[in-house]
Copies of this chain bind each other. A is one copy, B any other.
Amino acid sequence: MTTFSDIDRLAISTMRLLAVDAVSKANSGHPGAPLGMAPAAHVLLRNMRMNPKNPGWINRDRFVLSNGHACALLYSMLHLTGYDFSIEDLKSFRQLHSKTPGHPEFELPGVEVTTGPLGQGVCNAVGIAIAQANFAATYNKPEFTLSDSYTYVFLGDGCLQEGVSSEASSLAGHLQLGNLVAIYDDNKITIDGDTKVSFDEDVLKRYEAYGWEVLTVNKGDDDLASIDAAIKQAQKSKDKPTIIKLTTIIGYGSLNEGSHSVHGSPLKADDVKQLKKKFGFDPEQSFVVPQEVYDFYQKSVAQPGAELNAKWDQLFSSFQKRYPEVGKELVRRLSGKLPENWDEKLPRYTPKDSAVATRKLSEMVFEDIYAELPELIGGSADLTPSNLTRWNEAVDFQPTNSGIGNYAGRYIRYGIREHGMGAIMNGISAFGANYKPYGGTFLNFVSYAAGAVRLSALSGHPVIWVATHDSIGLGEDGPTHQPIETLAHFRALPNTSVWRPADGNEVSAAYKSALESKHTPHIIALSRQNLPQLKGSTVENALKGGYVLQEVSNPDIILIGTGSEVSLCVEAAQLLAAKNIKTRIVSMPDTLTFDKQPTEYRLSVLPDRVPIMSVEVLSTAGWSKYAHQSFGLHTFGASGKASDVFKYFDFVPEGVASRAEKTIAFYKGKEVDSPLKTAF
């Protein structure tokens, strides 16, 4: 048991007041949760293994603040324990370009994941815990425990109400993630007031139903010994995640403690003063940290952490000598590099190869690369036989006692939980060790996970969505399953690669781009139906994002297609050729990648003086950046045989050709600039 004394209480008061001062100075933010949760934060710090001078140490314990609005608490914790956060940083809380934005952001030292959108953080923590379990099962040896870290997560009522957390929590229970400890701030308050207006379920009973260990601390804002005992108990339960319900008073110490008025607005000046007095601080001073508090955190947290880190470094050194091969692999992974020439394994195709659905080609990529890339870990949201996301020899990531896999397995059965899957992938990526998580579902249902996809893009987690059944080409399942708006949506999301490969070479390119990406999530949209291997496609061409697939001299029109519509454009071009109309065909598997090419190259693909028409059997929104005219869908799809549905919407060679002719006629005699040329 840790013993607590006056210095602990002084440290807690300091932490509370730093958070309050930050919010007051910004005149914006959330003082309530920091006041209530500072004791738990302090006790947790005393139980955590971390080295503030080396925030990237792979065997650190992780701390996720799922209720990210309480970040004034997190920044105070990081400052006090010696991370690279100064008092000046706290003073510029929530100001433009500060290191202390309104919600914690992944790239900051000591911030494990970006949080704020409720429910995400706890799912990220599940992902981190999965990665740790896999990492440990893969690399630990009897005499070398390289990985045994815990993931701790604070969460509030909001995180528990969001469905995404239910998805990940149910899976975490199934997976028996004993390395995961959630601390629930049960303060009975949300923005709308008392939780009894909408949330009176029995949370612990629910988590028991998921298979978690559940613990309770009644005086969470005061009873340090009980908090400590609960955390230690949680550490001991190795085959279950633990949730500790901590009853706290929101805004503890404030004149308005226990009310929702302290949740999201600065305390009044008078209130801050009485609070400082109450905690034994000078009411006239702000951002005060007694030296003994710095010293205490140094001695009790930072120094032991640094020592453990140094010991681990020695251990790893010996490991490398004892297991040179694996050691090399680990060094590589920890440096964030892929194996040299890994991409030589990617399959390549010629037009003589047979027509294959791109989802199937994606499966063939997995077959060819899984052995090369131990960092590849993924699964499907219960659509494995449709998404084709599992290589033949894959072992499921499952607890050993389940008899259906083990933690060294790299295939995750996510269940029908797309949003949870997306958030868990972010956590796996955030763990480090170059983990490359992927997840399969129908393209249409990536939208269920929009909240998590957005955070992949914002945080720069290069996760991979294997998004099959990418159009009305899925046929009979009908409009509930046929994406229309989906590509437009994710292309409009900054820092998101949306690939829609047309054939095998482009599928290989998509995976090369995805797996080599350091900071950009990839959505790879794949067909259900077979597509021919195209003349003119190469992996290298496709890696430019857009390229001339089939060239003619002096084209009358340029057709840009993606995915299944590229071969449709090729067929349309043949009809047009019969009328002496010359067509250049451009394949554009990923607009974001194309945008990054030099202007000269882009203009060589999409030059002046030729009308350009895009062809994609989804919403046309966004295509005008590349084309003068767009052929797409502006209604929902229909249930029927895929070929019937394509025909109904006129996505047949004749339909494309006739629109190409109209486009040529429309621009006849007009000065036609490349759409790439803009005023600013």
Q: Chain A residues in contact with chain B, CB under 8 A?
A: 26, 28-29, 68-69, 94-98, 101-103, 105, 114-119, 157-158, 161-167, 170-171, 173-174, 190-192, 196-203, 205-206, 208-211, 380, 382-386, 396, 398, 402, 404, 413-420, 444-445, 447-448, 450-451, 454-455, 457-458, 475-481, 484-485, 488-495, 611, 613, 619, 621-622, 624-625, 628-629, 631, 634-636, 638-641, 644-645, 648, 659, 662-663, 665-667, 670-671, 673, 678-680
Contact = CB atoms under 8 A, between A and B. Distances in A.
A114 B458 contact: no
Contacts of A454: 447, 485
Contacts of A639: 94-96, 98, 101-103
28 contacts: A28-B476, A96-B638, A96-B641, A101-B478, A102-B480, A103-B480, A105-B478, A105-B479, A105-B480, A117-B480, A118-B416, A158-B416, A161-B417, A164-B448, A170-B201, A191-B386, A196-B404, A198-B414, A206-B206, A419-B448, A447-B450, A450-B489, A454-B485, A457-B636, A484-B493, A492-B621, A662-B679, A670-B671
Contact of A210 (B196, B206, B680): B206
A120 to B, nearest CB: 9
A96 B679 contact: no
Given A166-B166, A200-B211, A205-B206, 4 more contacts: A102-B477, A115-B480, A163-B163, A662-B679
Contacts of A170: 161, 199, 201
Contacts of A385: 191-192
Given A209-B205, A419-B163, A679-B667, A102 B198 contact: no
B493 A485 contact: yes
A457 B97 CA distance: 39
A190 B484 contact: no
Contacts of A458: 479-480, 636
Oligomeric state, in copies? 2
A163 B63 CA distance: 24
A376 to B, nearest CB: 19
A613 B208 CA distance: 57
Contacts of A480: 68, 102-103, 105, 114-117, 455, 458
A680 B629 contact: yes
Contacts of A420: 163
A19 B69 CA distance: 51
A47 to B, nearest CB: 28
